[in-house]
Amino acid sequence: MRIDVWSDIVCPWCYVGKRRLERALRDLDARDEVQVVHRSFQLNPHAPRDRTTDRAEGLKAKYGLSSSELQAMEARLLSIARDEGLDFRFEGQVSGNTFDAHRVVQMGREYGVQDAVVERLFRAYFTEGRSIFEPESLVTLGAEAGLDAASVRQGLETDACANAVTADIEGAASLRVRGVPFFLIDQRYTLSGAQPADVFRQALEQARGAAAGP
């Protein structure tokens, strides 16, 4: 069974959804029989690639939120993240273009450490306050996830894996994906959003039953 997961590294719900899917797979004792493929998606593809912006101010402008409304939204998200064992820290967080981060994720797939790369980038961004936008930071994080630092640096200096990122984004468009996380199970069942682990379990059981046949 294969699960394709479209997500963006700056999407907190994508990190929550990753944890919930992982919990469902553990509960079903199905992790060894499932291949999870992380697909690229950009929530803000037009963000400048040469600078970052204040995340909070960007959210307030995008959704028309007041400071108190944003704080309430973040408090709820922090509580949900804690329930999944995640320690989100939003203070001083910046946002930017994630295309290069997705290229490093694609490099991870080529070398068999894609999940480790995704996990490392999520944790760096949401827990450690580290940059996922600057090349040298991506080189360091990629190496910490199991990639060769020199290979990551060389890849980022060229257009390595850019076509793979673009292909994933186009694939999402063909599926009419409007937001992430988005999950495609065995090319036939779809789930949108960071669904509860029980919902993932039900979908996985349905997919396994269909694969087994009558």
Q: List the domain range (segments joined by +) for residue 15.
A: 2-212
124-159, pLDDT tens digit by residue?
A: 999 999 999 999 999 999 999 999 999 999 999 999
User: Domains in the chain: how many in total?
Assistant: 1
DSSP 16-72: HHHHHHHHHHHHTT-GGG-EEEEEE--S-TTS-SS--EEHHHHHHHHHT--HHHHHH
CB distance 138 to 156 below 8 Å: yes
Predicted pLDDT of residue 29: 75
Phi/psi for 169 (5° steps) reads -65, -40
Terminal Cα-to-Cα distance of the chain (whole angstroms): 17
Enter the pTM of the model.
0.95
Looking up residue 41, the CATH number of its domain turns out to be: 3.40.30.10
Position 213 scores a pLDDT of 60
Query: With contact defined as beta carbons under 8 Å apart, do 131 and 144 qualify?
Result: no
In this predicted structure, what is the pLDDT of residue 214? 55
pLDDT band for 27, please (50, 70, 90 cuts). confident
